[in-house]
Amino acid sequence: MSAALAAAADKLAITELLYRYAELIDAGDFEGVGDLLGRGNFMGVAGADAIAALFAKSTRRFPDAGNTPRTRHLVLNPIVELDGVTARARSTFCVVQQTDTVALQPIVVGRYADSFACDDNGWYFTERIADVQMIGDVSDHLYFSL
């Protein structure tokens, strides 16, 4: 495989990790989020179990909606920079939500700064930092106020 094709494949694999995070959190699969991020840290929290517990303690899930948070995390404009077996990515995010009491609307907007490493099993997160830049009505999303 040429170097250009290998780089494209690596960037695609990393971009899919960004999208996998959104899919897991929107499904209410916080254990899956912990597994995805667990080899690194999320906002200073390390380990799969600790990360899963953080999401379970902070994010509402609705049993009538399949135990999901009734959200869609949209990951936009990902830029991936490779450096051998490590990489960095930056992207924007927009979280939308609709519940019985909250009309469909954006509730959180910001940027992700991510770091990755690659081993024989492929690419994985080593760090995720979320920079929240705009906040709407998160009363049906989080158990705390931002």
Q: What are the backbone dihedrals phi and psi of residue 27, each rounded to the nearest 5 degrees, phi first?
A: -80, -5
What is the reported pTM? 0.95
**Given this structure, which CATH class describes domain 3-135?**
alpha beta
Would you kindly state where each structural domain of the chain is located, as residue ranges?
A: 3-135
Residues in the chain: 146
Q: Which residue has the tokens 């254990």?
A: 31
Q: Which amino acid is at 43?
A: M
Query: Per-residue pLDDT for the chain (146 aa), expressed as one digit of tens each?
Result: 799 999 999 999 999 999 999 999 999 999 999 999 999 999 999 999 999 999 999 999 999 999 999 999 999 999 999 999 999 999 999 999 999 999 999 999 999 999 999 999 999 999 999 999 999 999 999 998 77
Q: Spell out where 43-121 has E strands.
A: 45-46, 71-83, 86-97, 105-119
DSSP 19-58: HHHHHHHHTT-HHHHHHHHTTSEETTEESHHHHHHHHHHH
Residue 65: DSSP 8-state: G
